[in-house]
Structure 1
Amino acid sequence: MSIRVRSRRNLLTASAIAAALSLAAVTPALAGTGTAHTTRGAARAASAATAQGDPRDVTQRVADFYGSYIDSVWDNEDPAAAANAEALRAFYLSAAAQKKVAAFEAKEHADGILFAQNVPVKWKVVYTGSGAGHATSQVTLTWSDGKDAEVSKIDVQSDLKTHKITDLKQAG
């Protein structure tokens, strides 16, 4: 093989490797999962890199509901957001829970899912027990960033058969 062909092949190989490495570096950034230059950014990217769920798990369904609901009320300038929030309530909450939420909202003039007038920046759901055909979860809402961020907690009861949320109440 001549030196000219070998040099051309090496140049093409080096170019292909450089292009692949550039693409590998840019693709995660475009997807929002790239490595950030700050510790907080890196932690956020790492936590957003994976997600999973199981529609049979009532605690997972509570997490799915709160995640979707918070996304909808957060994006309040999107014309579809309010309709989506209402549709989520209708799908995830039992009829009795929907009535209880509506009564809270009429009395307190606040969101009966979040028990607040504003929208949290973070949420977490933890299984806390089950019995008598129901499972309980606790939702922790974080209202700001930083080490002294305010949090509130909501106890959520779900029916194990229907997977519907049957009760929500502020945790003490």
Structure 2
Amino acid sequence: MSVRNRKTLLTAVALTAGLSLAAVTPALAGSTASHTTRAAAVSSAQGDPRDVTQHVADFYGAYIDCVWATEDPSAVAGAKALRAFYLSADAQKKVAAYEEKEHADGILFAQNVPVKWKVTYTGSGAGHATSRVTLTWSDGPNAQVSRIDVQSDLKTLEITDLKPVG
């Protein structure tokens, strides 16, 4: 089995585990108004695997699901598999260097996990596209947000660089 096929298989397993966890967590926690409201707010979703911004959104959604699930031992493996699949080798090295230096997650540029995320296309050129990831760290009208510019290769869709926006 080729390395790429293994990566694809690991990513599929990680995504399936994350989606399964997301599906059963509300049922295990019991039904409350907040769960019902959140479920109703996201009544459908769609995607396109050829769209570079969608690719970044898929990565951040699955990655945040994995790091959010601190009680699940498979979540750590899922996060590693997602990094290996979505990030170029150079981007993985940059993330690792950031984490070593800052003692924080090099994907989220933080030590905690956001409660919401949004990805927006901001432009392209020279074979790359840039997406702006907006992370929201709490609920309410005064929620803190941070932003990350994510550069992706238009041909491979791999994430090639991540930079926090000041």
Shift of 1:72: 0.1
Q: How far apart in 2 are the matches of 1:63 and 1:146?
A: 23
Q: Percent identity?
A: 76
Question: Match for residue 49 of structure 2?
Answer: 55
| Residue matched to 2:58 | 64
The answer as to 2:94 corresponding to 1:119 is no
> In structure 2, which of residues 124, 148, 153 is the aligned counterpart of residue 154 of structure 1?
148
Aligned with 1:141: secondary structure?
strand
The structure 1 segments of at least 4 consecutive aligned residues displaced by more than 2 Å after TM superposition are: 44-47
The aligned runs of 1:17-96 (5 Å cut-off) are: 42=37, 44-96=38-90
Give how far 1:37 is off: 6.2
The separation in 1 between residues aligned to 2:54 and 2:67, in whole angstroms, is 20
In structure 2, distance between residues paired with 1:120 and 1:107: 21
Please report the TM-score for the alignment, with normalisation by the length of structure 1. Answer: 0.75
Cα distance in 2, alignment partners of residues 133 and 168 from structure 1: 16
Partners of 2:139 and 2:117 lie apart in 1 by 12
Partner of 2:126: 132
- Report 1:1-12 matches (<5 A): none
State the alpha-carbon separation in 1 of the partners of residues 65 and 155 from structure 2: 27
Matches of 1:88 and 1:70 in 2, distance apart?
10
- The residue identity in structure 2 corresponding to 1:102 is A
**C-alpha offsets along residues 110-147 of structure 1, whole Å, 9 cap, x if unaligned?**
00000000000000000000110000000000000000
Q: Give distance in 1, aligned partners of 2:40 and 2:126.
A: 38
Considering only CA atoms, is the larger Rg found in Structure 1 or Structure 2? 1
The equivalent residue for 2:20 is none
| Unmatched 5+ stretches in structure 1 | 1-29
Aligned to 2:91: 97
- TM-score (norm: length of structure 2): 0.78
Q: How does 1:161-172 map to 2 (within 5 A)?
A: 161-172=155-166
Structure 2 residue runs of 5 or longer lacking an equivalent are 1-25
Which deviations, in whole Å up to 9, do the C-alpha atoms of 1:6-65 show, x marking residues without a partner? xxxxxxxxxxxxxxxxxxxxxxxx98xxxx868x954x3343210000000010000000
- Cα distance, 1:76 vs. partner? 1.4
Q: How many residues align?
A: 137
* SS of 2:85 mapped into structure 1: helix
